[in-house]
């Protein structure tokens, strides 16, 4: 059994878990079979788009492996169609809500967490030490607080902090520090001599924290006194957070970040389209949906610029693609550096095929806005938030805006984040069965015909509302899986 996505396609994906015997070879599951003979130089079509060119004659029924496919050039950026096919708005979806924590700035939290933000990596082990004690000695007395999280990172000093690239990690960390799930009000731990001073990190938002909530280690007398000072501030803040209660918030208050990691050739026909359907439902309910990962959008940009709501939005998308082309060129790399050994094992021949499957997550609505690296998204609807495709860097950057995360995977990743629930959707049923205590939603049922894209999309949408409300936990939350924050720093280190 195989799946062809588009009527124009001349290749299809093998569905059988054991692979498919064709002539003398066995084509593995999720790899491609030629539906007809192809001459050398002929385009190979999947999703109705050219994913490459045959570099030799390929017989009908043969395995279309990476070696027989030459990668096409990326779509040129200078003559793309701008807002030429803006999708009409879909019918509004009224009456969907979740139980969230309303914040002073109007945002809504999906969790009620005490956050200990930091200006610099130097303080991280001290903060980790204090958080272990806070969780053991204080948190049990405050049952309405979900967790205590050290917002630690590798940035803050030893960097050219005035270089243009420094703006990216600084604003990323600012928005994470003021995260909706931290009630927008963290404690802040600083060393004292670091380049990223508290005022530089938080700007105008610093006075709002109050002096008692900013602890400067070099003002303290020894380690024990430092930890005591952090715990005293934490106890006071836990008391405030404990008085908060969930209240009904419209689904429009959700900011859902989408990402894929460890993709395979099924991702573009099962989990990513199901996530795309759920993205459309969220947009119809008034929510914000972020898709990201520049190198996984670059080869599909010609499909997205026509969908931009305005010419300005389309131009902003092109600006982000161009910035990243230049960034990769500086490192003597190009977009082909994206695909991993796991992607290739999963049947993806190159970044073009991966990108065409990846953008299915963005659903079908108009692209309303584009945010640059680490900027906080304020628009509603579908937004492109530029990030690298690296899972943990993308997730870190999306945390600047999102209050819930959806992560699709084919090869499998136990990835999670401490600040927001991460919902994991598998591309294949075999993965959902092998990792039944890590995968939340199995989209592989789409490949075997047991469920439709619409059914899995609705299931995911409802699960998102349950998780946002705290009625359900994701597996990553259940196990307490929180990857380290990894801010993207394109600027120089000194
Ligand atoms: Ca990724």
For residue 409, how far is its CA from the centre of ligand 1 (angstroms)? 9
Q: 10 Å Cβ neighbour count for 286?
A: 17
Domain ranges of the chain: 2-70, 113-242, 248-479
Asked if residues 419 and 436 have their Cβ atoms less than 8 Å apart, the reply is no
For the ranges 112-126, 164-178, 234-248, 263-277, which has the lowest average pLDDT?
A: 263-277
User: Band of the pLDDT at 17, cuts 50, 70, 90?
Assistant: confident
pLDDT mean over 238-252: 98
For residue 185, how far is its CA from the centre of ligand 1 (angstroms)? 29
For residue 91, how far is its CA from the centre of ligand 1 (angstroms)? 31
For residue 391, how far is its CA from the centre of ligand 1 (angstroms)? 4
User: Band of the pLDDT at 207, cuts 50, 70, 90?
Assistant: very high
Is pLDDT above 90 for 374? yes
Is pLDDT above 90 for 262? no
Task: Give residue 437's pLDDT.
Answer: 98
For residue 24, how far is its CA from the centre of ligand 1 (angstroms)? 36
User: Band of the pLDDT at 96, cuts 50, 70, 90?
Assistant: very high
For residue 182, how far is its CA from the centre of ligand 1 (angstroms)? 25
Is pLDDT above 90 for 179? yes
For residue 136, how far is its CA from the centre of ligand 1 (angstroms)? 34
Is pLDDT above 90 for 337? no
pLDDT mean over 337-347: 88
Task: Give residue 199's pLDDT.
Answer: 97
Helices and strands (DSSP H and E) totals, the chain = 14, 22
For the ranges 20-34, 137-151, 237-251, which has the lowest average pLDDT?
A: 20-34
User: Over the stretch 101-149, which tens digit does the pLDDT of each residue have?
Assistant: 999 999 999 999 999 999 999 999 999 999 999 999 999 999 999 999 9
Task: Give residue 9's pLDDT.
Answer: 95
For residue 343, how far is its CA from the centre of ligand 1 (angstroms)? 11
For residue 21, how far is its CA from the centre of ligand 1 (angstroms)? 32
For residue 260, how far is its CA from the centre of ligand 1 (angstroms)? 5
For residue 127, how far is its CA from the centre of ligand 1 (angstroms)? 29
Is pLDDT above 90 for 263? no
For residue 395, how far is its CA from the centre of ligand 1 (angstroms)? 8
Q: Locate tokens 């196990």: which residue?
A: 479
For residue 454, how far is its CA from the centre of ligand 1 (angstroms)? 24
Q: 10 Å Cβ neighbour count for 308?
A: 28
In angstroms, how far is CA 441 from the centroid of its own chain?
A: 17
Task: Give residue 334's pLDDT.
Answer: 87
For residue 206, how far is its CA from the centre of ligand 1 (angstroms)? 32
Task: Give residue 1's pLDDT.
Answer: 83
DSSP 351: H
Instruction: List all residues 6 or more positions away from 4 whose beta carbon is below 8 Å from its beta carbon.
Output: 11, 12, 13, 35
For residue 423, how far is its CA from the centre of ligand 1 (angstroms)? 14
Query: If DSSP codes are grouped into helix, strand and coil, which group holds residue 69?
Result: strand
Q: Does domain 2-70 have CATH number 2.30.130.110?
A: yes
pLDDT mean over 358-373: 96
Is pLDDT above 90 for 390? yes
Give the whole-angstrom CA distance, residue 263 versus residue 273: 13
For residue 291, how far is its CA from the centre of ligand 1 (angstroms)? 10
Asked if residues 286 and 92 have their Cβ atoms less than 8 Å apart, the reply is yes
Is pLDDT above 90 for 265? no
Is pLDDT above 90 for 476? yes
Give the whole-angstrom CA distance, residue 359 versus residue 291: 8
Task: Give residue 405's pLDDT.
Answer: 98
pLDDT mean over 452-480: 98
Instruction: Report DSSP letters for 363-381, one per residue.
Output: TTS-EEEEE-TTPPP---E
CA 373 to each of CA 39, 291, 293: distance values in angstroms, whole numbers, following the listed order: 43, 12, 10
User: Over the stretch 34-85, which tens digit does the pLDDT of each residue have?
Assistant: 999 999 999 999 999 999 999 999 999 999 999 999 999 999 999 999 999 9
Is pLDDT above 90 for 408? yes
Computed over every residue of the chain, the mean pLDDT equals 96
For residue 338, how far is its CA from the centre of ligand 1 (angstroms)? 10
Task: Give residue 77's pLDDT.
Answer: 97
């Amino acid at each position: 059994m195989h799946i062809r996505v588009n009527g124009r396609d001349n290749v299809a994906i093998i569905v059988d878990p054991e692979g498919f015997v064709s002539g003398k070879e066995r084509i593995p599951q999720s790899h491609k079979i030629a539906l007809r003979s192809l001459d050398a130089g002929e385009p190979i079509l999947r999703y109705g788009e050219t994913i490459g060119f045959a570099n030799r004659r390929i017989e009908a029924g043969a395995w279309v492996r990476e070696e027989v496919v030459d990668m096409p050039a990326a779509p040129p950026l200078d003559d793309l169609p701008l807002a030429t096919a803006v999708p009409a708005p879909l019918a509004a979806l009224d009456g969907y809500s979740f139980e969230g924590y309303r914040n002073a700035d109007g945002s809504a939290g999906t969790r009620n967490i005490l956050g200990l933000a930091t200006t610099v990596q130097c303080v991280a082990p001290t903060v980790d030490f204090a958080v272990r004690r806070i969780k053991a000695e204080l948190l049990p007395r405050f049952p309405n607080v979900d967790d205590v999280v050290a917002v630690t990172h590798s940035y803050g000093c030893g960097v050219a902090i005035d270089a243009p690239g420094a703006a990216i990690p600084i604003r990323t960390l600012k928005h994470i520090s003021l995260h909706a799930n931290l009630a927008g009000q963290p404690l802040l731990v600083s060393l004292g001599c670091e380049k990223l001073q508290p005022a530089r990190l938080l700007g105008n938002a610093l006075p709002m924290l109050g002096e008692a909530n900013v602890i400067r280690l070099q003002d303290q007398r020894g380690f024990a006194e430092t930890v005591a000072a952090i715990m005293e501030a934490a106890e006071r803040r836990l008391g405030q957070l404990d008085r908060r209660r969930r209240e009904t918030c419209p689904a429009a208050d959700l900011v859902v970040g989408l990402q894929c990691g460890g993709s395979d050739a099924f991702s573009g026909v099962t989990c990513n389209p199901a996530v795309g359907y759920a993205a459309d439902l969220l947009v119809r309910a008034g929510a914000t949906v972020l898709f990201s990962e520049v190198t996984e959008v670059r080869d599909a940009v010609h499909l997205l610029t026509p969908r931009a709501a305005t010419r300005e939005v389309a131009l902003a998308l092109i600006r982000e693609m161009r910035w990243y082309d230049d960034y990769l060129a500086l490192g003597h790399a190009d977009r082909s550096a994206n695909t991993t050994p796991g992607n290739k094992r999963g049947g993806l021949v190159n970044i073009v095929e991966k990108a065409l499957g990846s953008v299915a997550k963005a659903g079908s609505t108009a692209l309303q806005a584009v945010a640059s690296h680490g900027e906080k998204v304020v628009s509603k609807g579908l937004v492109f938030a530029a990030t690298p495709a690296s899972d943990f860097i993308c997730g870190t950057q999306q945390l600047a805006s999102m209050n819930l995360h959806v992560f699709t995977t084919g090869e499998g990743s136990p990835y999670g984040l401490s600040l927001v629930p991460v919902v994991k959707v598998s591309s294949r049923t075999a993965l959902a069965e092998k990792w039944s205590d890590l995968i939340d939603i199995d989209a592989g049922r789409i490949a075997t015909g047991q469920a439709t894209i619409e059914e899995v999309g609705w299931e995911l949408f409802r699960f998102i509302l349950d998780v946002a409300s705290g009625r359900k936990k994701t597996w990553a939350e259940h196990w307490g899986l929180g990857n380290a924050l990894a801010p993207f720093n394109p600027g120089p280190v000194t």
